[in-house]
Structure 1
Amino acid sequence: MHKLIRHRRPFTVLEFGLGYSTVIMADALEKNQKEWENRRKKPDIRNRFMFQLFVVDASSEWIQNVEDRFPAHLLSRVHFQHSNVEIGTFNGQLCHYYKNLPDVIAEFIYLDGPSPKDVQGSINGLSFNCDERTVISGDLLLMESTFLPGTHSFLLMGESITHGFSREILQETMM
């Protein structure tokens, strides 16, 4: 993740789920900001959240645990947000949605959550509490029409089903 953020140089990052990856991405954003500040010529960028990381997670306890142990020098660039996650559909396909998303346009999105057990509800008797069913994110599809050109998302291997689901539907390949 660090290498990807350093190479792609996003100004705003959105992460679903949090942990060590949050620290790694915050550090990469800090280094990118230092490089940006040392540039002689900077293009005009319309972005209220330069070099900021927005993290959304379904567990308020886990958010507090990570926040309490977060490196102090990086904490000001990270915005932690709790959200419930509910089952839903997109184009008739079962998926989940975080109910409280950060209102940002991120150029880099890292999908590492939620746990299937955090998804609330069922549709026609189907739920993500079934141990064999993996989570399928509908959030990227919901946001896709507002993505900036060049937006990239990265999914963990455990999210491979989401990758296939999203890739089939997204208008432009951004994976």
Structure 2
Amino acid sequence: MAGCLVAGTAAAGTLGGTLQAQMQLTAGCMVAGSSGATAGLNFGTLDFGSRPGTFTGIVTATPAGGEGVSGPTQLVCSPEVLGISVQVGSGSYAGQGSGIGVGSRAMRHGSTTAYIPYELYRDAAHTQPYPAGSAVTGINVPANGAAFSLPIHGQINKSNPTALPAGTYTDTLQVTVTY
């Protein structure tokens, strides 16, 4: 009977081997603070601040608050991406307000016919404009994958002292970054 008990007991065994773990990363860019989405992004706000309705002169702004992050809107690209192109649409009111100042795009006050024209540039010196609807290519990015500011610089150049109605002036721009 003892022999039957030994034969009926299974011996414990072990298995050994390896398991591979892997992940493939692709070259790309994202708005700092985003989850890596490629569509429906919030590039922030180009806020020119507050001025009296009779102001004249130049006012500048850069995008801030992209993807809900405080401070300047920044992009981050993988180290393999050495250059990007940026296309900025013409906005909703292109060509309006030319009697007030200079600019190919314009912001509108609510549903009125009051406009403030403005222009967009890729450089802080305001010498390289973004043509409405055309991509600007050859924009260098840091080779080490460091964050950098979205290269959009806005400028209002209101030359006419005509008073404009008080209120908020807005425009919506479509931005496409290609890497």
TM-score normalised by structure 1 residue count: 0.25
Greater relative contact order (Cα < 8 A, sep 6+): 2
TM-score normalised by structure 2 residue count: 0.25
Give the structure with the larger strand fraction.
Answer: 2
Please identify the structure whose Cα radius of gyration is greater. Answer: 2
Give the structure with the larger helix fraction.
Answer: 1
